[in-house]
Amino acid sequence: MPFISIRDLRVAFDGTQVLHGVNLDVAKGEALGLVGESGCGKSVTWLAALGLLPGTARVTGSVTLDGQELCGASRSTLEGVRGGRVAMIFQDPSSSLNPVIRVGRQIAETLRIHRGLMGDAARLEAIRLMDMVGIPDARKRSDTYPHELSGGQCQRIMIAMALAGEPDLLIADEPTTALDATIQAQILDLLSAVRAETGMAMVFISHDLGAVSQVCDRICVMYAGRIVEEGRIDATFGNPRHPYTRGLFDAIPRLEGGRERLVPIHGTVPDPRNLSNGCAFSPRCDRATDFCRSNLPVLKPQPDGRFLSCFHPVTGISKSSCTSGQHESAAA
């Protein structure tokens, strides 16, 4: 049974639907990557699931954590889950930390709220956590303010704080995007090490396909508020089937590639206020037909274990036989 299970999650801001029914499961101890371009709904999915969206957002659907319904749950229920069973870290660590409180105290505060630790016990545990996330000389550093630490170290503090509640699931929203290349490598390494040690599950939200493949087991590719492809990371990245996933791969320059011309995806991400009736990717897709433009593909399981929502998927090495059957079932 999955640890957290999202069913038909829909989010609308001021009447504009931005999330169109997302279904997603995260098993215990699993690392799931969520990729897509800005505005595709990858962050909104989790903010909605944890009740962190502003009141103007209309959220419908179901989010269950170990059988407990979170969507529409009371504030106290959600506060017990957030920071405790499910922790979240964000892209910009320095804006998530309080600039006028010493970092050690900020971690200790989380320990008090979620584990009831007080005084010296909390202080020592905060130092232990800082040690665990690789902050040198943690005892001394616990007395510093966030501005005295570098971006990479602030992100380590955020991770320490997230670990303070001993979460079963960590949602990492673009945790390395603002960091330098060598520091990004350190943080990815740290996240993997922490997961190996604690066995917590992780959802890694990123637009960087490279970073995702380094730390995740499974991946979901999102486009315009929907999941378009989902599968094991090696299978999906080894042989992307959705034209959008394929396009993302082709658009990334390669280190070993030299100066060959890049293959961009033409056009831009659609405006959520006027999406077409058909596949949202069809205006940018080379494989799209009139059928794609008027009918909405559904995310369907494929023989190789992945999920795909496309009428004309890219046929890679393992040619799938079920593509023709999709036409009728989707049209019906």
Partner 1 sequence: MTALLEARDLVRVYEISRGLWKKPTLVRAVDRVSLSLSAGETLGVVGESGSGKSTLGRMLLGIDPATEGQVVFDGQPMPAMGTTEWRRLRAQMQLVFQDPLAALDRRLSIAEQIGEPLVIHGLATKSEVKERVAELMSAVGLRSDQAGRYPHELSGGQRQRVIIARALATEPRLLVCDEPVSALDVSIQAQVVNLLRDLQEKHGIAMVFISHDLKVVRNITDRVAVMYLGRIVEEASSDVIFTHPQHPYTRALVSSVPVPGRKLEARIILQGEPPNPARRPAGCAFHPRCPVVLPSCRTSAPKLGAVGTGHIAACHLIAQSDAPLVA
| Of residues 281, 332, 331, the one with CA closest to residue 310 | 281
The residue (of 36 and 165) whose beta carbon lies closer to partner 1 is 36
In whole angstroms, what is the distance from residue 306 CA to residue 242 CA? 11
DSSP state of 129: H
* Near partner 1 by CB under 8 A: residue from 60, 192, 276, 323: 192
CB 111 → partner 1: shortest distance, Å?
26
Query: How many residues bind partner 1, per CB under 8 A?
Result: 51
Interaction of residue 233 with partner 1, rule CB under 8 A: yes
Interaction of residue 155 with partner 1, rule CB under 8 A: no
In whole angstroms, what is the distance from residue 132 CA to residue 272 CA? 42
In whole angstroms, what is the distance from residue 274 CA to residue 55 CA? 23
CB 252 → partner 1: shortest distance, Å?
6
Q: Which of residues 24-43 bind partner 1 (CB under 8 A)?
A: 37-38
User: Which residues, in sequence order, are bridge partners of residue 314?
Assistant: none
* Near partner 1 by CB under 8 A: residue from 153, 155, 309, 326: 153
The residue (of 118 and 262) whose beta carbon lies closer to partner 1 is 262
Tell me the window of 16-24, 53-61, 96-104, 256-264 that interacts with partner 1 (CB under 8 A). 256-264
Tell me the window of 43-51, 159-167, 182-190, 323-331 that interacts with partner 1 (CB under 8 A). 182-190
| Of residues 257, 331, 266, 241, the one with CA closest to residue 292 | 331
In whole angstroms, what is the distance from residue 248 CA to residue 206 CA? 13
In whole angstroms, what is the distance from residue 270 CA to residue 277 CA? 12
Q: What angle do CA 176, 240, 274 make, to 5 degrees?
A: 75
Q: Dig out the tokens for 213 from the structure.
A: 């493949």
CB 152 → partner 1: shortest distance, Å?
6
Interaction of residue 91 with partner 1, rule CB under 8 A: no
| Of residues 174, 249, 241, 252, the one with CA closest to residue 211 | 174
Interaction of residue 197 with partner 1, rule CB under 8 A: no
In whole angstroms, what is the distance from residue 272 CA to residue 255 CA? 34
* Near partner 1 by CB under 8 A: residue from 52, 113, 124, 269: 269
Q: Are 32 and 217 in contact (CB under 8 A)?
A: yes
* Near partner 1 by CB under 8 A: residue from 215, 221, 222, 308: 215
Interaction of residue 314 with partner 1, rule CB under 8 A: no
In whole angstroms, what is the distance from residue 296 CA to residue 204 CA? 28
CA–CA distances in Å: residue 57 to residues 54, 98, 133, 237, 290: 6, 26, 35, 34, 34
* Near partner 1 by CB under 8 A: residue from 41, 93, 152, 167: 152
> Which residue reads 């087991």 in tokens?
217
Interaction of residue 247 with partner 1, rule CB under 8 A: yes
Interaction of residue 302 with partner 1, rule CB under 8 A: no
CB 33 → partner 1: shortest distance, Å?
11
Interaction of residue 260 with partner 1, rule CB under 8 A: yes
The residue (of 4 and 279) whose beta carbon lies closer to partner 1 is 279
Interaction of residue 234 with partner 1, rule CB under 8 A: yes
Where does this chain bind partner 1 (CB under 8 A)?
37-38, 150-153, 180-186, 188-189, 192, 207-215, 233-234, 237-238, 247-266, 268-269
